[in-house]
Each structure stands twice: as C-alpha cells, then as structure tokens.
Structure 1
Amino acid sequence: MNSLLSGVNPLDLDLVGLPLLTILYAATGLALLLVLLGPTGVRRAIVTVIGAVVGAAVGWALAWFISDVWDPWGVSLSTGTRLWTAALGASLAVVVLNLRGQVRWRRVVAVCAIGLCLLSAAAGINADVGQFPTLRVALGLASYPPLDEALAAAQAPDAQTRAAHPDSANATGLAAEGTGVVGTVSIPATESGFAARDALVYLPPAAQLPYPPALPVVEMLSGQPGSPSDVFTAGHLASILDTYSRAHSGLAPILVVPDQLGAPGNNPMCVDSALGNSASYLTIDVPAWIKSHLHVAAQPAGWTIAGFSQGGTCSIQLGAAHPQVFSTILDISGELVPSNGSEAHTVQSGFGGSVSRYATAAPTAILATHAPYAGLGAIFVVGDDDIRFLPGIRAVADAAQRAGVDTHLFESPGTAHDWHTVDYAWTTALPIIAARTALLAPAMIAMTQ
C-alpha cells in the first residue's frame, strides 16, 4: 500500500485503476471470509445461503426500481452496476446474519466488513461508470487555471530552451513531443444573453507554436447534469488528444467546451426558449469567440460539434440545423428527442406548450427538413449495453443516412451510458474527424516540423 501511495497526493489516487481496486476487493473478501469462519452449523449455513440469495434479489430489485421506475437521471443502469448492487445486498445479508454468536474481535471485523462492502460496491459502480477517476474529482476539487496562465506555465520551459539554443528556429516546436494545455475562458453571450458558466479550452502542442497552423476546432458539450470540466476529468479528453497528437507531429483539433446548461441541474435542451437562448449561444456567440481568440480553420469544413448524452442530442440538433457552421457531428449516446422530464413538461417548459415546435426540434425532423445535405458528416457512438439510448441512436443514424449525411455508427463493446463509451467514441472518431477536417494535410504537418 505504501508503494501505491508513494509520491502521490491521496486526492489524486486513481479510483478506477486495478491496484487500488484489487486491494479494496481483497480486503473486503478477507473480512467476509473471517465472518463466515465464525460459528458454523448446518442451520446457519442454510440461513446464510438463503439470506445471500434474498439480499442479492433485493439489491437487483432496488437497482431496477431506481433505474426503470423512479428514473431520476433519465438513463438505465448498466448490467455491471446492477450486479454490483445485487452483490452489495448479498454481502450485507451475509454479514448481518452472522453477527450473532461471534466473539468480540469477529464482531469488530463484521462491522468493518459492512463498511468495506459499501466501499467496494461504490468503487465498483464508479469504475463501471467512470465518473470519478480520483478523489479530487469526487470531492469537486478539480479545477483548471485561466487559459492564459496555463499557456504561460506551459511555455516557460520553452523559453529556457530557446535561450539555450538560440539557433533553433523552432525551439518551442518539438510539437510532437509536447502536451496540450487546458484552461478556462469566459465566452460572453453577446447575442444570446445566455447565462453560461466558464468554458474550457484544450490547445494541442501545434497550437502553442510561435506560428501555429489554422487548426480544426471541435465544440464539445458535456452531459446533464454536468459541467464543462466533466469531459476532461471523467472523459479524459486531454489525455486522448495528447496521445493522438504525439503520433501526428503535435497535431490535434482545438477543443472548446462551452456550457450549454447554465447550471448542473438545468436543461435548456439547446433551443432558444424561456429556459435560455442556449442554441444561439452555441451557434453564434461561441463560434464568434473562437474565431476572434483562437487560430482555427475559418471554413465550416474544419468545424465539428460533439457531445455526450444531453450534449449528444444538442450536437445532432445544432449540427443538422446549422451545416453552414459545422461540417461534422459527433453524437455520443444522444437522445431521440430533446427531453426535460416528462414529454408534457418538456413541451411546456422548452416550447411554450407548442407540440408542433417540440416535434420540429427532434433531430430526425431537423434532418428531414434540411435534406438533402451536401458535405455534412455525422458519427454516432453508443454503448452496446445502453439499452435505453441504443434504439434512439440507431434511429437517428438511419435518418441521417436517408438525409444524405455521410454517416458512421459505432457501438462501444461492453459499455453503457457512461464515460467509457465517451473514451471509445473519441478514440474511434478522431481519425474520421481528422480526415474530414484535413487535420493531417501536408501543409499543416510541415508547419509543425
């Protein structure tokens, strides 16, 4: 355990990596074994087995009720999360049924086992979903500096390199060996008036050169509830883009992650309504800020809009409705229709009670209205265990193909409505986005050498 923590701030300990999970699961298993090795007998053994089965059934039923009846998040729990909940029910039943008759030290172990079972289940579910990679993220302590400060900190070593090698024309160059920079920016809602939180920007190594190429840009949207930082803390996008850039002369898209919600619990559904002019913010204000502050491709061919879950719905809504702004769409586990609670509440809150306005905001309707498209591409990705969103993604992908959109559909193996699907989506989609946006054009590569 000491080697696991050596040189690592406990807040930054990997909560989803095998070393920590192996230790936690082993400790839990040992505690349960010690409880079971107490007083024995046929009757106790039978009661324990029956209790474990009943506990597992209760756990599975609880997961079913939360996911499919109460439905507080609008997504179905994955098979892995349901199994962890069932395992928790079974293990707690085993401990409780074996508390009586134990000597004092075994009772202490049993109480500790309850805590370990809870921790193991929580860790297993978190690893299944991928929401909190570290304790820092789980406690809401992860933060990013302003973009100009992050750039200054990243360029300080380069300044020392230039001073030591004044004859090197591109000492900041070394783009292929560098890493990207992530920082916060404030994107004003000049036209929309939308009350957005700060955005996050990822600049790949090539964007940090003294004379950077005009790079493609991706406008990426988080899910709901959520915040722009989720795509970096839970989605590991900076790491994914850094890996890609190291293999391609420091080239990767510039990533801008604006806030399409206004607050974690809000859902303006990426339309202009009484809930806020989210659509205008994302298609007018954000692109205007990007063009005036970042060295990016000027034409729509270099622009992509992407998103996960609610953000995925936004990406296909806005991308399909504004092909003059975006030429590529990445829809990760988006919805079939925009949703803010029940359909009745959605229509009332987001569309002023107009059923027809609500119907025309559906991605399939937008695609049909603007068909046939010329030059628009869409990449759809969904987990093959995402039983609720899988049919919708397939339906929207079919509608896109019928509308003349260059369509790609991928199903992430063994994942559900979680951040593992986002990781798979970005890793799979990056080569397609690069090809569509001419990221690896010879002239652009030459500028990084």
Structure 2
Amino acid sequence: MNSLLLDVSPIVISPLDVVLTDAPVLAALYGGTGFALLLVLLGPTGVRRAVVTLIGAVVGAASGWVLAWFVSDVWDPWNVSLSTGTRLWTVALCASIAIILLNLRGQVRWRRVVAICALPLCLLSAAAGINADIGQFPTLRVAFGLTNYPSLDQALLIARSAAHANGDSNRSGVVSAVEIPATVSGFAARSALVYLPPAATRMNPPALPVIEMLSGQPGSPSDVFTAGKLGDILDQYAQAHSGLAPIVVVPDQLGAPGNNPMCVDSALGKVASYLTIDVPAWIRGHLHVTAQPTGWTIAGFSQGGTCSIQLGAANPQLYGTILDISGELVPSNGSEAHTVAAGFGGSTAAYAAAAPTAILAAHAPYDTLSAIFVVGDGDLRFLPGVRALATAAERAGVDTRLFESPGTAHDWHTVDFAWTTALPVIAARTALLAPCVVAKTR
C-alpha cells in the first residue's frame, strides 16, 4: 500500500512548480487585477474626481517611464537596456498605483478594502509581466532558489535505475551538481552543473561532444537550466537522435552573482585559467568526451557570451566551436576606467588586447574554428556589437554564422532561440551522430 502511494505521488503538482509564465496563470492574475481596478474606478464619480484621476494616471505613467529610463539608461546597474515590454509594465504599474491612491478617499468601506488589495495585485501583475518578458523565473521554486541537483554519482544511479525500469527509449537526460577544483587557477568558483544525455548514462557510453556553457552576470550556473530551459532543449534533441546529445558542463565564471572578473587572469581571479585549464582537465578526467578540439564547444550568454568569444578565439587548440549569445563587444566591469583599473591593473594596452576583435585579429587566420553568434533583434544595445564581432570573426577566417532572434531582446527567450537554432549546427560540426553509426555496426 505504501509503495502504491509513492508511485502516484508525482502526479501532485506543488504550488512551487506551477509555471509562472503559462497563459492561464497570467490571465487569471491580470484578470483579477483588472477587475479590482474596475471596482475602484466605478466608485463615487464626478467631474472633479474623473479629471484628477485622469491627470494622476498620466503623471503616474510618465513617472514610470522616467523611472525605467533612469534605471536602464542612466544608472544602468546591469549594463543592459530594459526592453520596451519591461518599460511598459513599469508605466502601467505607476499609473495603476496613482489611480488607486487617488480613489481611496470617499469610498465605502468594502471598496476601500478592494482598493488596498488592488495595490499588491498591481505589483504582482507587473512583476509577472516583467518576468514573462525576461523569462528569468519559470516557477516559484526557481524564484526562491529552492532548486536542488543530485551529485554526479546519484544522477547516474537515478538514470540507470530509470532505464532498467522503463527501458532505454524516450528517456530524459540528467543534470547534476559537481565540484570542479581550481587546481591551477586557484579561482574561488561555485558548484558547476553537468547535463548528461541518455547516451552518456549507459554503462558503456560513447565518447560524446562537450559544451562548456557560461551563464550571464549577475547569475549562476543554474540559470542555464531554469531560465534557459537548456535541459528540455537537449532532451528533445536526444529523444529524436537515439539518446545522443552533447554533454554540457556549466562552470561558474563569476565566483558570486554580482562579481564580474571578465574571464581574464587578473587581481579579480584567474578565471581564464580556471575555464581553459582546470575545467577541461576535470571534464577529461570524469566524463567520456571526444578528445579532438572539433568536439569541444564553448558557449555563453551576455557576459558569458563575451567569455566564450574571448576564450574560444584565444584557444583554437582547445575549442573547435564558439556560441556567443548576446555577448559584449568588449569585456566590461562598470565604466571603461573602472574596467581597466579593476581587471587589467590600469593597463589600457592589456584591456585593448583582451577585446574579442583584438584576439581574433591576433590569431588570424584560423583554419578550423567555427563561431555562431545569436542576438535578439530587439536588443538595441548589444545588436551592433554582435554584428561587429561576427564581421571580425569572418574577416579572421572563422567559419561564421549570425542569427537574429525575432521579437526578443537581451533575455532568456533569445537564449532559447539560440540553443534551438544552434544545436543542429553544433551537432553537425562536432559529428555528434558518429557514435550512433559505430554502435549500429557492432
């Protein structure tokens, strides 16, 4: 009886796992908020109240637009321009708050209660709308940082038990947490994550291509699988290709969410050595991966995208393919002056040499390196730089592809588009299906 209860328990969905960006969830929240605002507006009316409400809504909307402009384009704490959708949600929030506050007086008690309840509803609606626009938190579990991953040994045990119980077909890959020691670099990295496709969890797995993927900043390795949904994308590919997909290792290149060592060896940490020496050494020692550089890809989003082109272009003997998703034209840690002082010891020459365009020019011409650049066509701040990098890579002899994600900006929707678009290219580039052919001939 107890085992039966355990068998059926997975069908119960925890509130923490409800998808926040699903249309029914958003529609219910927006509908409830709109109804509450309507009740507020349908209270005692008059010409004076209507005029004051209208003026307040306009002033609130203008204040919201100025606030979004100040945060995005003046203060600029993330070096990312807010999308039009996020700005409009800020406008709507400030206008709604103004309407509610101006209509609190003169209402009967129950309408005042509705108005007070409408305030948090407006905040929740705006937060949900902005989250849907950016794609950062798919569930409350992710938003509260409650996502846990098993160790590599536990993940393999789980996968092999599932294969024994359910057969080897249509299985999903597994994501596990690992510690990658900074033996050479000494960099204080957080735990890394590893995705193993079904083929990599077999008792005698084939040697598979490997992708070293880097998240953005601020961020953590888990963002790639929670906000970026990379595990789902890889699972879909694997299920269509006999369990074959690249192994993906997501190391930490930041040290902490707010840090930005810029993927160079500096006083901020020897990140370049960690990512190109320590991490590859751990991969070769613990995972069954292709040995040739053609089977190795370095990828990243935003600050991680900058790292991918920096390190990939500087180490063609290690990586055969680069996937730069919305990367910067130059490494950046605040203003240029602060960047030079913090990351390059005050040397403008060292800073200039670390720019991806300079690295590409210094190592040109390339014989076998391939690069895939992806950027949202609404990412007005990063779009020109990514286009310039693609041109520089092509000029340096790199086999270059540029994709622009329609209707997205500097967000995780662009990352989803990037992986869906680039994965077949990477698979062909790394000869991913070769192990399948070998297995069939045995």
TM range (shorter): over 0.9
* Counterparts of 1:99 and 1:448, CA distance in 2: 73
User: 2:121 is aligned with what amino acid?
Assistant: L
Instruction: Report how far residue 7 of structure 1 moved.
Output: 2.5
Q: Find the partner of 1:107 among 104, 112, 137.
A: 112
Q: TM-score, length-normalised on structure 2?
A: 0.95
How do residues 205-284 of structure 1 correspond to structure 2 at under 5 angstroms? Answer: 205-284=198-277
Q: Tell me if 1:354 matches 2:353.
A: no
Residue equivalent to 1:136: 141
* Counterparts of 1:314 and 1:422, CA distance in 2: 16
Residue equivalent to 1:53: 58
Instruction: Report how far residue 448 of structure 1 moved.
Output: 7.4
> Is the 2:224–2:230 contact (alpha carbons within 8 Å) kept by the matching residues of 1?
yes
Q: Tell me if 1:297 matches 2:278.
A: no
Determine helix, strand or coil for the equivalent of 2:213. Answer: strand
**1:445 to 1:53, Cα distance in 2 relative to 1, 3 A:** farther
Q: Find the partner of 2:82 among 77, 81, 95.
A: 77
How do residues 46-445 of structure 1 correspond to structure 2 at under 5 angstroms? Answer: 46-160=51-165, 173-174=168-169, 177-441=170-434, 443-445=435-437
Residue equivalent to 1:168: none
User: 1:76 is aligned with what amino acid?
Assistant: S
User: 1:22 is aligned with what amino acid?
Assistant: A
Instruction: Report how far residue 400 of structure 1 moved.
Output: 0.5
User: 2:139 is aligned with what amino acid?
Assistant: T
* Counterparts of 2:156 and 2:199, CA distance in 1: 13
User: 1:190 is aligned with what amino acid?
Assistant: T
- 1:101-127 Cα distance to aligned partner (Å, 9 max, x none): 111000000001111001100110011
Q: Find the partner of 1:11 among 11, 16, 29.
A: 16
Which stretch has the larger CA shift, 361-370 or 386-395? 386-395
Determine helix, strand or coil for the equivalent of 1:447. Answer: helix
Share of identical aligned residues, percent? 76
Determine helix, strand or coil for the equivalent of 1:65. Answer: helix
Which stretch has the larger CA shift, 45-54 or 356-365? 45-54
- 1:42-75 Cα distance to aligned partner (Å, 9 max, x none): 2222222222111111101100000000111111
Instruction: Report how far residue 100 of structure 1 moved.
Output: 1.6
Instruction: Report how far residue 385 of structure 1 moved.
Output: 1.3
* Counterparts of 1:157 and 1:7, CA distance in 2: 20
> Is the 2:330–2:356 contact (alpha carbons within 8 Å) kept by the matching residues of 1?
yes
* Counterparts of 2:116 and 2:185, CA distance in 1: 56
Number of residue pairs the alignment of both structures matches: 431
> Is the 1:212–1:447 contact (alpha carbons within 8 Å) kept by the matching residues of 2?
no
Which stretch has the larger CA shift, 34-43 or 102-111? 34-43
Instruction: Report how far residue 445 of structure 1 moved.
Output: 4.4
> Is the 2:160–2:202 contact (alpha carbons within 8 Å) kept by the matching residues of 1?
no
* Counterparts of 1:157 and 1:128, CA distance in 2: 36
Instruction: Report how far residue 446 of structure 1 moved.
Output: 5.0
Which stretch has the larger CA shift, 35-44 or 80-89? 35-44
Determine helix, strand or coil for the equivalent of 1:329. Answer: strand
Q: TM-score, length-normalised on structure 1?
A: 0.94
Residue equivalent to 1:40: 45
Instruction: Report how far residue 262 of structure 1 moved.
Output: 1.2
* Counterparts of 2:404 and 2:57, CA distance in 1: 35
**1:35 to 1:324, Cα distance in 2 relative to 1, 3 A:** same
Determine helix, strand or coil for the equivalent of 2:216. Answer: coil
Instruction: Report how far residue 157 of structure 1 moved.
Output: 3.0
Determine helix, strand or coil for the equivalent of 2:211. Answer: strand
Instruction: Report how far residue 447 of structure 1 moved.
Output: 2.5
* Counterparts of 1:448 and 1:20, CA distance in 2: 46
Residue equivalent to 2:8: none
> Is the 1:373–1:403 contact (alpha carbons within 8 Å) kept by the matching residues of 2?
yes
Structure 1, unaligned runs of 5 or more: 1-5, 162-170
* Counterparts of 2:143 and 2:83, CA distance in 1: 20
Structure 2, unaligned runs of 5 or more: 1-10
* Counterparts of 2:191 and 2:92, CA distance in 1: 40
Residue equivalent to 1:3: none
Determine helix, strand or coil for the equivalent of 1:359. Answer: helix
Which stretch has the larger CA shift, 142-151 or 305-314? 142-151
